[in-house]
Structure 1
Amino acid sequence: MDKLEDKMAIFTPEDFHDEEKLIAKTAELFIKQDVSPKISSIEQHQYEVTRQLFQKAGDLGLLAIEIPEAYGGLELNKKISGLVAERMGFGGSFSVSYNIHAGVGTLPYVYFGNEGQKLKYLPKLASGKWIGAYALTEPDAGSDALRPKTNARLQEDGTAWIVNGEKQWITNAQLADVFVVFAKTNEGMTAFIVERSFKGVSVGQEEEKMGIKGSSTATLILADVVVPMDNVLGEVGKGHKVAMNILNMARLKLAFSNIGTAKQAFQLALNYGKERRQFDRSIIDFTMIQEKLADMAVLIYGAESAAYRTAGKMDEAIALATKETMVYKISDFALECALHKVHCSEALGKIVDEAVQIHGGYGYMQDYEVERLYRDARISRIFEGTNEINRLTIAKMLWKEHTQTTATEGALIENQPLERNHQFIRLSKYLMKLAMTVIANRQIHLEQEQEYMRLLADMVKESYVMESALLRTEKSAHELTKQLMTDIICQEGYRKIEECTIDIITAAESNDQKRTTWLDSIRHLNTPLQQNLFMKKRAIARTLIDNPKLIS
């Protein structure tokens, strides 16, 4: 990621054409007209209501976005899938059920199923006649998901597998007609297609959760389940390829859903701020409230700029892939998918928190929708791999890239005239390399000292968002509000990266003289003059107050 991409080559949300926007509008109206009025029923686990919604979503084509046309799908791309997931993010618990079904509940068949499996399952999943689920997590194997205790042994006659075990916290458990189940075999972890109707399949009681109360979450119990040989998904012993690559795509889909929910929280906060009066003024007229709204908008702008950039790159890679190279093309985006999962879930956490704060005491009351959003948002930092696990993934891949590159630090800080945001990005990349150089020199064992990995992950995350926002803004001919948001993203992002670098040097370098030298080198960098972000945020807030559709 040393060289900045061509701004015209990246995909941005502004690049969607009218037909694609109509698909998004379909999802938006579906949530508004069909899902939102039934949120209460969904949260009371009236499963028939949820099933009806799935069938309606199927009729509208919303379950078929990434399914090939040959199997009843629309055969569209990751960008459109992301756009639909974003609009579905307004649907509370139903959005979780939808994402699991359309993501990990369907994509394993698309990418790893054989022709017979695709013909049998994909049309049912595309139509909503069947609901899909994904069974990876176990009571003793949460983050360590590739070491399942659920086991599968081949029958003596070689015609079927006998599967035993329990899978925990399975979304859509009470609703699902078919599960993708991962089990240990003598050859290694293997993925199996397990239908609900198979003898020995049962589901435990609904879990009582903090949030997303309307999504079904329960234990899947497998007791001597006979799974036909034809129901092995992918290759025997290669289930880890299915699990990890599908999770990569699921993380990106979750990121888009988080962006959608963040936009919903922003709109609720903005509308309430206009209505609520204190001291004979609308609270939205107070600059501290304006600052909160601007911070929320900036987070959303950076998150969607980065996520759509990656979706565009994935589409390009997939379009060039063959059946044999598809898995490798998808796995190339593991860092970016983990990055978006972390960034968007944490951005959502901050945004819903501020939305509640703007509502004041009313935000704590269940009569106000923002209270539910606050509770629902918390799970996003936990499922699809905890943010800690995803940070480890980011850092490992960054470190691998660093050890394989021959680029020098000096090439990053040549004395070239650059626009200020370009300077922030170039200096940020220099600091990342500096931090990794110090870690390498001190022979830090990253696996054992994970604090360093956390900081490296945060540095690459901030850098990627800075780049994405800058490229999007330049492509938009520096439209004023976008320019202001990019200025904030780059200035604040650089500060965070500088702080991470200082923390790494301070912790890693035990020699006082060397540590002082490293830190002095940072202080003497020719960084752009800091600008007044208060005024930029006020300008953003005033624009959004008058034109809230800029964040929609």
Structure 2
Amino acid sequence: MKQTSVQHHTFFSRCSSSGEVFIPEDFSNEETLIAKTTDQFVRQEILPLIEETDDNRRQMVRSLFEKAGELGLLGIEIPEKYGGFSLGKKVSGLVAEKIGFGGIFSVSYNIHVGVGTLPYVYFGTESQKQTYLPKLLTGEWIGAYALTEPNAGSDALHCQTRAVLNESGTAWLLNGEKQWITNAHLADVYVVFARTKEGITAFIVERSYEGVSVGSEEKKMGIHDSSTATLILEDVEIPVENVLGEVGKGHRVALHILNMARLKLAFSNIGASKRALQLAVQYGKERKQFQTALVDFTMIQEKIANMVVLIYGAESAAYRTASLIDEELLDVETGNELMTKMSPFVIDCALNKVNCSEVLDYIVDEAVQIHGGYGYMQEYEVERLYRDARINRIFEGTNEINRLTIAKMLLQMKPPLSGENRQPNGRNDHYIQQAKQILKQSLKAISHFDRQKLENEQEYARLLADMVKNINVMESAFLRTKKIIAANGADHASLKSLMTDVLCEEGYRQVQAAGISLLSAAITDQEQRRMELDAIQHLTVPIYTNLFKKKREIAKAITETARYRS
């Protein structure tokens, strides 16, 4: 593949020092108060409504938007100039996490504050911002995002919806259908993507425009509480002032806004994961079999520990990414500035989306398993969490598409993974450095791949992406724990040290297995293959430890509090 020089300010080239990395423990008192306010909102306003009938839900969700607006939860990322708070990705992630398990509201909320609002913030004209942002941040209006079509899912930019400029050049005539639009029946305004002769263009379409209609609600496996329907556009006249960004360059709006949406979705998944863990531990403490509480069985303890460890890694990586983005977007006001600053973070956002959605799937599955037969019953909350979780591996680009994106961009980095030539700092850092060495070997083995070959043999992309995902989590957790120890001493970080031990040791084993699989397939010369595989097998790593014992300690510590605490 032709190597294009890409400057990446990602976890590969920044924050190798624990003192530089942001961790959840760094949140200020004011930011923690925002989190508590959000948590209180979910528990007092959202959870009591989950059992309401479908007929009542749409009006209840609109009411929840208004209450969220009153609390300031819709304006976290909106500039102060328009009534928002300009608090950035870390705090917006914190709020999304807390709302993450509020089933009746979480999906609608994420769409509204993310893809339903941020296009105006970064790509809107001053007039568009003044018109729409004040309404969106109060909950007076609800936003939606219309990209997907019946024949354009993962390949969304090959849409068939068309827009033609009228003869006088004053308005566009819009025709087409957009499928699976979240907030479809609730929204007052949609960001709609259509094909023009200049290319894909983004339009602001108000619900009140003649020719705009919404189909019936989709019957879904999960997320029953969110409105999902087809947006129908029949000869809709759109004023030229309602073009969002530049004509023919709507793909820039779509790709960069979706990039940020992936990170927000990751935080929402973290919140749902914590809720599923809490429910599993509570049930495991109450339920007895053979005169013994479930949490006292070591196989159940292993499940609980695995859940906790995965959350710790996901949380560490996601907040680290959000902090790096906040640093880059500090003074960004225009779409062009956003594209320049956000381009290096495509890998990071995709990694977090893939990791957190799969962590959530694992955790809700194990939570149902701990509940046994009761977990399959609808009167138990964990059953809803299980069904609702499944869509996250499809939302905001399937995990397969995201893995392809990660691999393609990784192969464009020049030089790949530079700046990592130092002595490891302890056993966990040793695992991390050797895992990176395996990744470098794997990248070298397929460096000759062109784009078409990677498209045709996607298993290589999957393995690369999974190696990077594991390394990102390992390093983020390691730096987080190291920073906590430096600030408070090892005694105050014993549990997090155990979790980091598990993440790094198991993560290394997973990277090693992926590297062996990739090199075995990619290197056709038998002697060269033997040399490369021997190099992996003979990497010096710390002796493996008794992870069963560590996991039992983790599980017992979590069982005492019955919930995960950052």
- The question of a shared fold, defined as TM-score above 0.5 by the shorter chain, is answered with yes
C-alpha displacement at 1:320, in angstroms? Answer: 4.8
Aligned to 2:456, the other structure's residue is in SS state coil
Indicate which of 303, 307, 326 corresponds to 1:315: 326
Q: What is the alpha-carbon distance in structure 1 between the residues aligned to residue 65 and residue 391 of structure 2?
A: 22
Q: What is the alpha-carbon distance in structure 2 between the residues aligned to residue 489 and residue 141 of structure 1?
A: 38
Matched, 1:430 2:441: no
Matched, 1:376 2:383: no
Checking the alignment, whether the CA contact within 8 Å between 1:182 and 1:189 is kept in structure 2 is yes
The aligned counterpart of 2:237 is: 226
Q: What is the alpha-carbon distance in structure 2 between the residues aligned to residue 201 and residue 68 of structure 1?
A: 30
Checking the alignment, whether the CA contact within 8 Å between 1:41 and 1:49 is kept in structure 2 is no
The aligned counterpart of 1:327 is: 339
Shift of the 368–240 alpha-carbon distance from structure 1 to 2, 3 Å rule, reads same
Structure with higher RCO (Cα < 8 A, 6+ apart)? 2
Q: What is the alpha-carbon distance in structure 2 between the residues aligned to residue 2 and residue 515 of structure 1?
A: 29
State the TM-score, normalizing by the size of structure 1: 0.96
Taking the TM superposition and a 5 Å limit, the aligned residue runs for 1:334-373 are 334-373=346-385
C-alpha displacement at 1:77, in angstroms? Answer: 1.1
Indicate which of 56, 66, 77 corresponds to 2:77: 66
Taking the TM superposition and a 5 Å limit, the aligned residue runs for 1:153-302 are 153-302=164-313
Indicate which of 68, 90, 93 corresponds to 1:57: 68
Aligned to 1:174, the other structure's residue is in SS state coil
The answer for unaligned runs of 5 or more in structure 2 is: 1-11
The number of aligned residues is 547
Task: After superposing the two structures, state which structure 1 stretch, 441-450 or 148-157, moved more.
Answer: 441-450
Q: What is the alpha-carbon distance in structure 2 between the residues aligned to residue 472 and residue 157 of structure 1?
A: 59
The aligned counterpart of 1:455 is: 463
C-alpha displacement at 1:154, in angstroms? Answer: 0.2
The aligned counterpart of 1:535 is: 549
Aligned to 2:158, the other structure's residue is in SS state coil
Q: CA RMSD in A?
A: 1.6
Aligned to 1:266, the other structure's residue is in SS state helix
Checking the alignment, whether the CA contact within 8 Å between 2:278 and 2:564 is kept in structure 1 is no
The aligned counterpart of 1:405 is: 415
The aligned counterpart of 1:34 is: 45
The answer for unaligned runs of 5 or more in structure 1 is: none
Give a deviation string over 1:81-116, Cα, whole Å, max 9, x none: 000000000201410000000110000001110110
C-alpha displacement at 1:512, in angstroms? Answer: 2.2
State the TM-score, normalizing by the size of structure 2: 0.94
Q: What is the alpha-carbon distance in structure 2 between the residues aligned to residue 46 and residue 326 of structure 1?
A: 36
Shift of the 464–406 alpha-carbon distance from structure 1 to 2, 3 Å rule, reads closer
Aligned to 1:90, the other structure's residue is in SS state coil
Give a deviation string over 1:495-538, Cα, whole Å, max 9, x none: 11101110011111222222222111111111111011001100
Q: What is the alpha-carbon distance in structure 2 between the residues aligned to residue 104 and residue 533 of structure 1?
A: 41
Indicate which of 465, 470, 480 corresponds to 2:478: 470
The aligned counterpart of 1:504 is: 518
Task: After superposing the two structures, state which structure 1 stretch, 42-51 or 372-381, moved more.
Answer: 42-51
The aligned counterpart of 1:491 is: 505
C-alpha displacement at 1:39, in angstroms? Answer: 1.2
C-alpha displacement at 1:202, in angstroms? Answer: 0.3
The aligned counterpart of 2:532 is: 518
Checking the alignment, whether the CA contact within 8 Å between 1:36 and 1:91 is kept in structure 2 is yes
Matched, 1:137 2:130: no
Aligned to 2:220, the other structure's residue is in SS state coil
Task: After superposing the two structures, state which structure 1 stretch, 431-440 or 35-44, moved more.
Answer: 35-44
Q: What is the alpha-carbon distance in structure 2 between the residues aligned to residue 465 and residue 60 of structure 1?
A: 33
Shift of the 79–282 alpha-carbon distance from structure 1 to 2, 3 Å rule, reads same
Checking the alignment, whether the CA contact within 8 Å between 1:73 and 1:126 is kept in structure 2 is yes
Shift of the 242–254 alpha-carbon distance from structure 1 to 2, 3 Å rule, reads same
Aligned to 1:189, the other structure's residue is in SS state strand
Letter in 2 for 1:286: F
The aligned counterpart of 2:158 is: 147
C-alpha displacement at 1:551, in angstroms? Answer: 3.0
Q: What is the alpha-carbon distance in structure 2 between the residues aligned to residue 3 and residue 272 of structure 1?
A: 42
Among all aligned residue pairs of Structure 1 and Structure 2, give the percentage whose two residues are the same amino acid. 61
Shift of the 132–65 alpha-carbon distance from structure 1 to 2, 3 Å rule, reads same
